[in-house]
Chains A and B, each alone.
Chain A
């Protein structure tokens, strides 16, 4: 199973972190003038889609359930989503080989959803939120942004290394 990319959004839709894993995801389309602009648009699309789908499933589902989108599957890929109470969204694109997303993994097999939850509680909270430099709301939007002074840059933490190490240890992780 191939993991394509990972996105982390805050509750307002700003992208806090993004990373492409698979070769397919890294190939930017060549017929686009402004790549930066295109990528930003794509991220907004993903956030907007997750937001609207949450509203949609909320109105379709039984009363009294807190709406939460777990996964969205199209013919090309599957988007797995984990949303925290604070509105932080962890979204991961994989291909369609993954069997279970919502279920609890059986002992050895960690489902993608559990992995996203682990990434939040053990990696994001530990290495970003608890970083002495971190101030909520001041995260630099992407690693290419010019604003460095006064903003917290995620590269000052081990977040990315720890994230990569964790994902590589997953039996289903395979970035071809």
Chain B
């Protein structure tokens, strides 16, 4: 996996992090631009579609939008929560379990960022525990996939 970035309800970038050694280097200004561009395109994709889901709500009961992009050399997956926070992971094509990682990272966000009394909503995430747990999660997933089994990662997944 290459990068994780998190966009808040208004389109501002609140977190970005490289997830592997092979992740390309991207400057801070570029990240801010990427975050807001993605935020708008996420909504435009649902708007431009010839058919829409009832009430424009998808299966998670959040607004419909981009869930996945496949491009040359990169794939991107997005999870939008009911509050409009978007978790996005970019990865090399063929990387397994990205949606699983997104849901787990959402759980980590609620545990280590939202429950942190000093964290202000919609502000950039500056919680060490969140960063550490994301790194640990990615480590676990890499080790499990290297050990030749995508099977049970021992993670709790609540839909």
Q: Which residues of A come within 8 Å of B, CB atoms?
A: 4-5, 20, 22, 24-25, 42, 45-46, 48-49, 52-57, 59-63, 65-77, 79, 93, 95, 101-102
Contact = CB atoms under 8 A, between A and B. Distances in A.
30 contacts: A4-B50, A5-B50, A22-B51, A46-B48, A49-B41, A49-B44, A52-B37, A53-B71, A56-B34, A56-B37, A57-B69, A57-B72, A57-B76, A60-B74, A61-B24, A65-B74, A67-B72, A70-B71, A71-B68, A72-B68, A73-B68, A74-B46, A74-B67, A75-B64, A76-B51, A76-B53, A79-B45, A79-B49, A93-B49, A95-B51
**3 nearest A-B residue pairs (beta carbon):** A75-B58, A57-B71, A25-B50
A160 to B, nearest CB: 18
Most buried by B among A61, A65, A66, A75: A75
B67 A73 contact: yes
B62 to A, nearest CB: 9
A48 B64 CA distance: 19
B93 A60 contact: no
A70 B68 CA distance: 11
B149 to A, nearest CB: 23
B30 interface: yes
A48 B37 CA distance: 12
A59 B72 contact: no
Contacts of A67: 71-72
Nearest to A73: B68
Interface residues on B, range: 35 or more
Interface of B: 2-3, 22, 24, 26, 30, 33-34, 37-38, 41, 44-53, 58-59, 64-74, 76, 90, 93
Contacts of A68: 71-72
Contacts of A57: 69, 71-72, 74, 76
A61 B73 CA distance: 7
B48 A42 contact: yes
Contacts of B66: 72-74
Contacts of B90: 60-61
Contacts of B50: 4-5, 20, 22, 24-25, 77, 93
B49 A76 contact: yes
Q: Is the interface of A mostly helix, strand, loop or mixed?
A: mixed
B26 A77 contact: no
A53 B49 contact: no
B70 A101 contact: yes
Nearest to A63: B24
A76 B128 CA distance: 37
Contacts of B3: 60
Contacts of A76: 46, 49, 51-53, 64
A53 B76 CA distance: 11
Contacts of A63: 24
